[in-house]
Amino acid sequence: MTATAHVVGAGLAGLSAALALAQAGWRVTVWEMARQAGGRCRSYEDAKLGCRIDNGNHLVLSGNRSTLAYLARAGAPDALVMAPAARFPFVDLASGERWVVHINDGPLPWWPLRASRRPAGVGLGAVLSSLPLLWADRDATIAEAVRASGPAHARFWEPMSLAVMNLPPALASARLMRATVFEAWRDGRLARPMFAAHGLGAALVDPALAALRRAGADVRFGAQVRGLRVEGGRVAGLAAAGEDIPLGPRDAVVLAVPPARLNALFPAARAPEESSSILNAHFRLAAPVAGPPLLGVTGARTQWIFVKGEVVSLTISAAGFVEGADAEEEALLALLWAETRAALGLADSLRPLAARLVHERRATFLQTPANVRRRARALTGLANLVLAGDHIATGLPATIEGAVRSGETAARLLGRPGAEAGAASGSGR
Ligand SMILES: Cc1cc2nc3c(=O)[nH]c(=O)nc-3n(C[C@H](O)[C@H](O)[C@H](O)COP(=O)(O)OP(=O)(O)OC[C@H]3O[C@@H](n4cnc5c(N)ncnc54)[C@H](O)[C@@H]3O)c2cc1C
């Protein structure tokens, strides 16, 4: 009988691991405590808005190679629609200025040399003073590495740091930001935004679940794993769904759960639990709104606006560090709607039919240099246990790409059914 891989958590890291393991010949059981898959990246029917929404806007870039490979593995390579160019329109609501950051195609990133492709008011000197990001040491924050001030700070590094790291530049790890620059921003062909036309669930979750079902995997919802039984340097059983599930000698476990849950199940991981939140406001309108699918905003509380037909959603990353983001819900929604109207040039009289705030308090782990150094590695001291999740040491920020890559890596470390974890690659990453 073939060995079983038990994947705990059906977020993108768990789904990615489960798909790759099923393809490698494992029998797969997925344990998910929630009633649905997707974790922090999910769609759901919202009663107040009367439609299906994503918990929060998610930006994926064309250079996110693990995410694209995951979609291909799930049989849905076209689930995300790529924009024709790496163009990022912005508006500054304080001054009314508008500009487009336009990253050129090709391996030589010459776009910052052209004023028309940089944020308004950012000179060549500011571009040059950003170069030290490329050799930043592991203790440096983005602010320490790039020493940006004025418009270069407010119109480039702050929006990038908030979007990618979910932290302001004064706190965020420069090394992790650099990884993103290398993976995507150096070449416009890799930095094109990818959009989920019918929501995150339809694009990133449902195809993976369907592929797992086709492969005969057993995906259980409402099934929390509450403990691991460890014997002889291996996981010998799982406490799940009120039972002790014994593991065979060739069975393995992938823990793809967020830091606090991981530490509760496997304290040796000592994953950093401090986190940073993300606030999303969703407005439902009577008719579709005209506007770019994605608009960056500075000089306001709003940071990004996503236009999706008659739903307009905006994002405030690192909300715990944004003044006023903790205001009372109705007042905050009114303020954010006023910002949205101004940014999109909508009539003052236009009112949403309904509005909703979704505050994800533990959106990502706090990606400071100190916490990044403490990220747990995928391989553990137990022969048949590996870890996955956006907080694992992938070298990438806590993003969809990081989560999916961690799942891929976990599956690679387990190799073919029956091998010892790590025997396939001999690496902890
Ligand atoms: C509002 C918001 C906006 C974001 N924007 C972006 C973006 O623009 N671009 C981007 O790339 N990333 C973005 N992210 C980050 C991205 O969503 C995450 O990095 C990614 O989804 C994490 O996936 P994961 O599988 O590691 O963890 P999770 O999604 O947290 O999945 C873990 C799963 O494990 C389950 N679980 C936990 N404990 C147990 C247990 N004991 N037993 C069984 N199941 C358990 C949970 O229910 C959950 O389903 C955003 C996140 C948020 C919240």
Q: Would you say residue 420 has pLDDT above 80?
A: no
Mean pLDDT, residues 140-154 taken together: 92
Q: How confident is the model at residue 423, as a pLDDT? A: 63
Ligand 1 atom with the smallest distance to the CA of 12 is 25
The structure's pTM equals 0.96
Between the alpha carbon of residue 427 and those of residues 21, 234, 402, 415, the distances in Å are 18, 19, 17, 12
Ligand 1 atom with the smallest distance to the CA of 16 is 25
CA–CA separation, 247 and 224 (whole Å): 17
Shared domain for 89 and 144, answered yes or no, is yes
Shared domain for 378 and 236, answered yes or no, is yes
In a domain, 101, yes or no: yes
Shared domain for 106 and 179, answered yes or no, is yes
Q: How confident is the model at residue 427 (pLDDT cuts 50, 70, 90)?
A: very low
Q: How confident is the model at residue 149 (pLDDT cuts 50, 70, 90)?
A: confident
Q: Which of 167, 191, 215 is the last residue of a domain?
A: 191
Taking the centre of ligand 1 as the mean of its atom positions, its distance from the CA of residue 184, in whole angstroms, is: 21
Taking the centre of ligand 1 as the mean of its atom positions, its distance from the CA of residue 27, in whole angstroms, is: 24
Q: How confident is the model at residue 424, as a pLDDT? A: 54
Shared domain for 287 and 329, answered yes or no, is yes
In a domain, 56, yes or no: no
Which residue's CA is minimally distant from atom 49 of ligand 1?
Answer: 39
Mean pLDDT, residues 243-254 taken together: 96
Which residue's CA is minimally distant from atom 5 of ligand 1?
Answer: 58
Shared domain for 382 and 269, answered yes or no, is yes
In a domain, 420, yes or no: no
Q: Which of 156, 175, 191 is the last residue of a domain?
A: 191
Shared domain for 159 and 104, answered yes or no, is yes
Shared domain for 146 and 122, answered yes or no, is yes
397 within 8 A of 165, measured Cβ to Cβ: yes
Across all residues in the chain, what is the average pLDDT? 95
Shared domain for 219 and 244, answered yes or no, is yes
Q: How confident is the model at residue 1 (pLDDT cuts 50, 70, 90)?
A: low
Q: Would you say residue 277 has pLDDT above 80?
A: yes
Which residue's CA is minimally distant from atom 26 of ligand 1?
Answer: 389
Residues of the chain with pLDDT > 70, as a percent, come to: 97
Taking the centre of ligand 1 as the mean of its atom positions, its distance from the CA of residue 12, in whole angstroms, is: 7
**Residue in this structure with the two tokens 């990615």, named with its chain if needed:** 16
Q: How confident is the model at residue 241 (pLDDT cuts 50, 70, 90)?
A: confident
Residues with CB under 6 A from ligand 1: 8-14, 31-34, 39-41, 55-56, 58-59, 224-225, 256-258, 261, 278, 280, 360, 363-364, 389-390, 398-401, 403
Taking the centre of ligand 1 as the mean of its atom positions, its distance from the CA of residue 215, in whole angstroms, is: 24
Domain count, the chain: 3
128 within 8 A of 97, measured Cβ to Cβ: no
Q: Which of 163, 191, 219 is the last residue of a domain?
A: 191
Taking the centre of ligand 1 as the mean of its atom positions, its distance from the CA of residue 67, in whole angstroms, is: 14
CA–CA separation, 162 and 143 (whole Å): 12
Shared domain for 185 and 242, answered yes or no, is no
CA–CA separation, 117 and 104 (whole Å): 9
| Of 393, 363, 365, residue with least CA distance to 380 | 393
Which residue's CA is minimally distant from atom 10 of ligand 1?
Answer: 399
In a domain, 121, yes or no: yes
Shared domain for 203 and 177, answered yes or no, is no
Shared domain for 92 and 141, answered yes or no, is yes
In a domain, 69, yes or no: no
Taking the centre of ligand 1 as the mean of its atom positions, its distance from the CA of residue 252, in whole angstroms, is: 22
CATH of the domain at 312: 3.90.660.20
Ligand 1 atom with the smallest distance to the CA of 360 is 53
CATH of the domain at 20: 3.50.50.60
Mutational test site, ligand 1, from 29, 33, 40, max ligand atoms within 8 Å of CB: 40
pLDDT digits (tens, 9 = 90+) for 322-367: 988 888 999 999 999 999 999 999 999 999 999 999 999 999 999 9
Taking the centre of ligand 1 as the mean of its atom positions, its distance from the CA of residue 13, in whole angstroms, is: 8
pLDDT digits (tens, 9 = 90+) for 111-124: 999 999 999 999 99
Q: Which helix (H) or strand (E) holds 249?
A: none
In a domain, 76, yes or no: no
DSSP string covering 164-196, please? Answer: HHSS-TTTSBHHHHHHHIIIIITSGGG--EEE-
CA–CA separation, 424 and 411 (whole Å): 10
Which residue's CA is minimally distant from atom 41 of ligand 1?
Answer: 225
In a domain, 425, yes or no: no
Q: How confident is the model at residue 418, as a pLDDT? A: 72
Shared domain for 178 and 96, answered yes or no, is yes
Q: How confident is the model at residue 242 (pLDDT cuts 50, 70, 90)?
A: confident
SS3 content of the chain, % helix, strand, coil (to 5): 30, 25, 45
Taking the centre of ligand 1 as the mean of its atom positions, its distance from the CA of residue 124, in whole angstroms, is: 38
Taking the centre of ligand 1 as the mean of its atom positions, its distance from the CA of residue 37, in whole angstroms, is: 10
| Phi, psi values for residue 239, rounded to 5° | -90, 105
Could you tell me the two tokens for 392?
Answer: 């694992």
Q: How confident is the model at residue 183, as a pLDDT? A: 87
DSSP bridge partners of 358: 280
Mutational test site, ligand 1, from 16, 30, 41, max ligand atoms within 8 Å of CB: 41
In a domain, 61, yes or no: no
Taking the centre of ligand 1 as the mean of its atom positions, its distance from the CA of residue 219, in whole angstroms, is: 17
Residue 102: domain span: 85-191
Taking the centre of ligand 1 as the mean of its atom positions, its distance from the CA of residue 256, in whole angstroms, is: 9
Mutational test site, ligand 1, from 58, 160, 165, 409, max ligand atoms within 8 Å of CB: 58
